[in-house]
Structure 1
């Protein structure tokens, strides 16, 4: 799943094929992935492509107050929490209609800036 900036919706994939667009979606057992090579290519060429995405199992769970916001920005590698910690996985994540993303982070599955 990734954010479609043109449609202003979340693109849902099954395999490599987009099967739908949703204004908002919640996932559990989330893995966040991004391609550093593609990110650098986008910076170099000024082009947009899908190089960051989330994988997980859809759920109907409402977003709890304990959820924290995370972001992906082209200027720096990886998904990041507000404190700058790289986010690799989450127990659950909520992708909202306004384009924001929130999660229940898995601290043991994340690495600090400069880590591997």
Structure 2
């Protein structure tokens, strides 16, 4: 059996769904998806450009391997907002990686954060 490949997931605001990208190409749109071994990426230069020009583009995404793991009650909510750099937990802590993340039909995202994988506000 082949090893599952990593995909990139981002919220498609037009379709109100999660876009799934593999090998640099969108391969589908889903209402919900779960990923394991997640790395969260965003481009600060693109974020600033979007703010300056008032345009939208894909500059923040999660990369991981799809999984069927159900979301546990202890999962933590996180988000990405154009107004501030990086993905953030509810307490404002920057989130860089997660063991598992769930991207829900209502547009929310939840995770089990990897210990030591996060950086405090103002930290590097």
Same fold (TM over 0.5): yes
Q: Could you tell me how far 1:15 is from its partner in structure 2? A: 1.4
| Residue number in structure 1 paired with 2:77 | 69
Q: Aligned equivalents of 1:73 and 1:95: distance in 2? A: 15
Unaligned runs of 5+ residues in structure 1 are none
Q: Equivalent residue of 1:107, what SS? A: coil
**Distance in 2 separating the partners of 1:107 and 1:99:** 25
Moved over 2 A (4+): none
Distance 1:100 1:107 in 2: 22
**Out of 101, 106, 112, which is 2:109 matched to?**
101
TM-score normalised to structure 1 length: 0.99
After TM superposition, the score normalised by the length of structure 2 is 0.92
- Write the distance in 1 (CA, Å) between the matches of 2:69 and 2:24: 26
SS at match of 2:38: strand
Name the residue aligned to 1:57. 65
> C-alpha displacement at 1:97, in angstroms?
0.3
